[in-house]
Amino acid sequence: MFIDKAISILFGLVFLFVLSCDGPSSDSVVSEEEATAVGGKALQDDPVFWDYAASSNMLQTEIGRIAAEKATSDSIKTMGQKTVDFHSKAMQQLRSLVANQEKVQIPDSLGSADRALVEEFKLLEGEEFNTRYRDFILNTHTVQLERYKEALGRAENKRTLDWLQAMLVHLRKELNSVANIDSVKQQ
């Protein structure tokens, strides 16, 4: 039990480190006041945010595919497939949202750290996979919730606001699903 918790904590720390190395750091998040002070940079014109949003959706989709195939728990398999379905659609919507933005170029593939994380998940088996996937969802969704909440304050059009709201609802629902899986497992 202790080893499982230690591994989970270690994975969480490694994941946060990976996010800080290959993606935009939380220091790059611009508050609404800072955006106004530097020329009113709206969310729609913020390439850092959209790069983060695209990268996180692609990563969720790829690791969700692995979960749908490799998980030994039916609830984790189902969660993985729902993740693939939701984040694939969210990615299509994201591309549509930024299609006419000259300053925004979203990535079309995962960065090196994200690819390495996908490869790590491919090597996991059994209960270790299930545990790491639950931890991945908890860690990534918590970070994404904060980023998307911050982005709401800078969004200027209804389509972007609607997309962000849908993302927030999904992320909260997934966090609740993981909590339900964990509570059923403990009983």
Looking at residue 40, its pLDDT comes to 47
Neighbour tally for 185: CB within 10 Å: 12
Mean pLDDT of 124-146: 95
Looking at residue 151, its pLDDT comes to 94
- Asked if 101 and 45 count as a contact pair (C-beta separation under 8 A), the reply is yes
Mean pLDDT of 35-54: 74
Neighbour tally for 142: CB within 10 Å: 12
Q: Report how far apart the first and last C-alpha atoms of the chain are (Å, whole number).
A: 15
In this predicted structure, the answer to whether residue 31 has a pLDDT above a threshold of 70 is no
Looking at residue 93, its pLDDT comes to 95
- Asked if 178 and 136 count as a contact pair (C-beta separation under 8 A), the reply is no
- Count of residues making up the chain: 187
- Residue 38 and residue 34: Cα distance in Å, rounded? 6
Among 35-44, 72-81, 120-129, whose mean pLDDT is lowest?
35-44
Looking at residue 184, its pLDDT comes to 54
Q: Which domains does the chain have, with CATH numbers?
A: 44-186 (1.20.1260.10)
- Asked if 158 and 125 count as a contact pair (C-beta separation under 8 A), the reply is no
In this predicted structure, the answer to whether residue 39 has a pLDDT above a threshold of 60 is no
Looking at residue 177, its pLDDT comes to 85
